[in-house]
Structure 1
Amino acid sequence: MSTDHGDEHEHHLPAVEDWPRGFGEASWWPFITALGAGGIYIAAALYIVAGGEESTINPLFAPLLGAASVGSFLFGLYGWLYHAFVVEFWSRGSNETSAKALRWGMISFLGSELATFGAVFAYYFFIRAGTWPPGELPHLLGSLVLINTALLVASSLTLHWAHVAIRNNDNRKFVIGLLATLLLGVVFIGGQIYEYYEFIVHSNFTFETGFFGSAFFGLTGLHGLHVSLGGALLAIVTVRALAGQYSADRHVSVSTVSMYWHFVDVVWIFLVVVLYAGAELGA
């Protein structure tokens, strides 16, 4: 980095550099995050391929690559968010143009997420066009999924309440709303893990149980990953809220995280209607 800036910008590797000059700061953190995310998909593909009878791929490659990819993804995400929001936070002014750019950036990201879920849903609709049901299905639409759905819908309401509170400069209600949202998200993930346990152990229903098994665990697992990521983002926002880094004029990251969380909520409702209710009622 050029020394013309003095000690104004000090960053740890991966380097954040003024490159090219005049176009702001470029960072390696998004690249590291993207590598980790891509590695997760490759690990999933290796797991499927290595399960074949004639496969020459070592079955240990998939879990090792998966663990390394998750680590890279979380490490890159931490560095990205830290440099974007935490470093020298109070030295930056409140810029409405930058805030709009970040919101539109989140909207663009959600567009790519919609395409990702759309691809997996397209696979499910494709298998639904064939003989149905494709074998014996477990009881899907039970009390657990209904409770989980209610918890996730409630978490969207508490997050909206928190967002309204910070717009009114009510930091106490804002923090309470964030903590409630985070708690509901954690309980939702716990409920999904328990549901997996019930299906796998007691119903012998797994990822390898035919086409529907792969579609079910692919969609619910992808959604669970997104809820977990949303929980991590909410935790960061909560820590910053406790540090007093938000006000009625400075809450752009609350807006973007709220958009993400509400998106995940809507996807879950659609998933329950199509995958859980649709599969069971159409059986």
Structure 2
Amino acid sequence: MATEESDDHGGHGHHLPAVEDWPRGFGEASWWPFVTAIGAAGFYIGAALFLLGTGDQPMIGSMVGPIVFIAATVVFLVGLYGWLYHAFIVSFWEGEATEHGSSGLRLAMILFLGTEVATFGAGFVYYFFIRAGTWPPTGAELPHLLGSLVLINTALLVASSFTLHYAHVALLNDNRSRFIGLLVATLVLGVVFIGGQVYEYYEFIVHENFTLTEGIYGSAFYGLTGLHGLHVTLGAVLITIVLVRALFGQYSDDRHTSVSTVSMYWHFVDVVWIFLVVVLYVGAELTL
């Protein structure tokens, strides 16, 4: 079967859309999304093991969680590379006149974002549950969360959504130089946002002594903001891939599916952050 398909796709001995996919011989199936999902699950496992390794009486070694998290990151990035490369990039080099399965890929991104809504929703439900009780939580000393840093970070992330949107518009208008320039601006804004969040964590942990183990609010705050930070980091990786492809001239006004799907993801991350600021930062300052 693989031999017959190789004759239909340039003699490469593989099938579309998962070109030279792993493992071969499974029709249109691809294991790369499965590998990526295993890596993503490892993030949660590593975080849970990290918590089990902290406290006065840790149940496991303190390094088990970080090691699992790092290993999961490697698996996740390898899976993501295989998934994106074989779904998007190889098809371009095979000389397709139009993007293959663009509607299906956009629908897949919409479904993926639906699962992300459920993931963040679970975290917000946890926060709403603890927020409905005694506030501030008994025994917890909350720092002043709503400062200039989070406002600047929010402005940067909102601006990055605009630059990415207009980068896509420039591509549709066949303005390649403007497209690349705005992609670079988006990536820079995203990286600065990540740096700002890391600096915020440093300030809270070192100067405010507000850590992940600081009661139920600490777990909610770092759990939700950390999860969002991981999503922004992933988005920055995706934008970097798009930028590299753009520099190689792989996009045009009628071939831009990956630009569309990455834009959808980045705008989603932006909206989640605004909701986080309103609920988690502003909400923590309110005393009912």
TM-score under structure 1 length normalisation: 0.93
Partner of 1:213: 218
Question: How big is the shift at 1:52?
Answer: 5.1
Letter in 1 for 2:103: K
Looking at structure 2, the residues matched to 206 and 53 of structure 1 have their Cα atoms a distance apart, in angstroms, of 15
Unpaired stretches in structure 1, ≥5 consecutive residues:
none
User: 1 CA distance for matches of 2:83 and 2:186?
Assistant: 23
Structure 1 residue aligned with 2:24: 17
User: Which runs of no fewer than 5 residues in structure 2 stay unpaired?
Assistant: none
Q: Is 2:139 aligned against 1:152?
A: no
Partners of 1:164 and 1:250 lie apart in 2 by 13
SS of residue in 2 equivalent to 1:206: coil
2-side partners of 1:50 and 1:89: how far apart? 47
C-alpha spacing 1:234/1:188, structure 2 compared with 1 (3 Å): same
Aligned partner of residue 24 in structure 2, secondary structure: strand
Quick one: percent identity of the two aligned structures? Answer: 64
Indicate yes or no: 2:119 matched with 1:116. Answer: yes
2:283 to 266, 278, 281: 278
Tell me, yes or no, if structure 1 residue 76 matches structure 2 residue 53. no
Q: Alpha-carbon deviation of 1:133?
A: 0.6
- Cα RMSD for the two superposed structures: 1.9
1:59-105 CA distances to partner (integer Å, 9 max, x unpaired)?
Answer: 32211111111111011111111111222414223157x21111111
Separation in 1, partners of 2:2, 2:255:
31
Say if 2:42 and 2:69, in contact at 8 Å, map to a contact too.
yes
CA distance in structure 2 between the partners assigned to 1:87 and 1:125 by the alignment: 45
Return the match for 2:12 from 8, 27, 39: 8
Q: Would you say how many aligned residue pairs link Structure 1 and Structure 2?
A: 278
Mapped partners of 1:89, 1:13: distance in 2:
14
1:37 Cα deviation after fit? 0.8
Asked if the contact 2:52–2:59 (Cα under 8 Å) also holds between the matched residues in 1, the reply is: no
| 1:57 shift after superposition | 2.5
* 1:92 aligned partner: 96
- Larger mean CA deviation between 201-210 and 41-50 belongs to 41-50
The residue correspondences of 1:107-256 to structure 2 (distance < 5 A) are 107-134=110-137, 135-256=140-261
Name the TM-score, length of structure 2 as normaliser: 0.91
**What residue in structure 2 maps to residue 26 of structure 1?**
29
